[in-house]
Amino acid sequence: MASIQSKLLNALLKLINKKDFLRKQLAAGNQGLFNCPTPPARIHRHCLVRKSRINDNNVFTLSPRNRKDSGRHILYLHGGAYVNNFVIFHWTFLAELVRRTGCTITAPDYPLAPEHTCKESFAMAMTLYEQLTQIVPPANLTLMGDSAGGGFALALAQKLWHEGLPQPGRIILLSPWLDITLSNPGIKEINKIDPFLGIAGLQEAGRIYAGEMDPSGYLLSPINGILEGLGKISVFTGSRDILVADARKLRQLAASKGIEIDYYEYKEMFHAWMLLNFPESQKAKQQIIDLLQRS
């Protein structure tokens, strides 16, 4: 049974019509309204924060301040439908992972639409990944992302495979957006109970991020890409998220190829719930930490 806190948040999301936020933001050109592009001051209490630059974009590295570094490293790709930057919940989530596991996290402020398209985003991510593998054994490296960042993470792993580059040890996908075409027939049914994501806003965001690229190609819709030969995949999703339709499809595709993935679907949970701090979020974070410590 869902916690009281999650039920209240579900009701609040419906009350404020969160589903229509992205469409309205894009129409008004103010999609950065809730952005938090740099780690806030309180994050520095638990993490050493370093900023660098790749291709004129910021890259933030968070490492343990008060405990020994575990040697594990996460390349984290944030969500935001490819048009929004980090929000405060990203930073608190990442800082908690650093504090509780001793890992180091690299989080790029990758190029976003409408100013940029996926070509620039992948160019930056590939450069950053290659730099990280010069200092971190790939087996100790985890690719992780939420929402659009989850799709980006899986697509990046697929691109690495195509280019013959080493795979990360793990790939952890949080409420991943695996197909920007939103063509899965199951989405329309789940849309009736999703309090967070709206189809129209996502379709527009995906269109402008794709630019001239084929939206059904694996770089934008990794559900259509290869699964063989990738790092160990784990997926966290919720039954009230329209994107769960493709998460379930990914699990089925993997099973059909004899590929085992860790799949965690929480009943009555909405999009990106694992970044928050109610009971189900805390349980998922512990499961993520357990995965990282098994790497």
pLDDT tens for each residue of 75-99: 999 999 999 999 999 999 999 999 9
Specify the CATH number for the domain of residue 39. 3.40.50.1820
Q: Which helix (H) or strand (E) holds 145?
A: strand 141-146
What pLDDT score does 67 carry? Answer: 75
Q: How many angstroms separate the CA atoms of 189 and 212, rounded? A: 30
Domain extent, residue 278, equals: 4-293
Q: How many angstroms separate the CA atoms of 52 and 61, rounded? A: 8
Q: How many angstroms separate the CA atoms of 111 and 244, rounded? A: 26
Q: How many domains does the chain have?
A: 1
Q: Which of 146, 193, 195, 197 is nearest to 173 (CA)?
A: 146
What pLDDT score does 191 carry? Answer: 97
Contacts of 131 (CB under 8 A, 6+ apart): 54
* pLDDT class of 207 with cuts at 50, 70, 90: very high
Q: How many angstroms separate the CA atoms of 70 and 104, rounded? A: 8
CB-side neighbour CA atoms (13 Å) of 274: 30
What pLDDT score does 33 carry? Answer: 75
Q: Which two tokens stand for residue 261?
A: 């993935």
* pLDDT class of 69 with cuts at 50, 70, 90: confident
* pLDDT class of 120 with cuts at 50, 70, 90: very high
CB-side neighbour CA atoms (13 Å) of 20: 6
Q: Under a CB-based contact definition with an 8 Å cutoff, are residues 123 and 55 in contact?
A: yes
SS3 at position 58: strand
Is the pLDDT assigned to residue 150 strictly greater than 70?
Answer: yes
Q: Which residue has the higher pLDDT, 30 or 114?
A: 114
Omega into 114 within 30° of 0, i.e. cis?
yes
Q: Which residue has the higher pLDDT, 175 or 294?
A: 175
What pLDDT score does 245 carry? Answer: 98
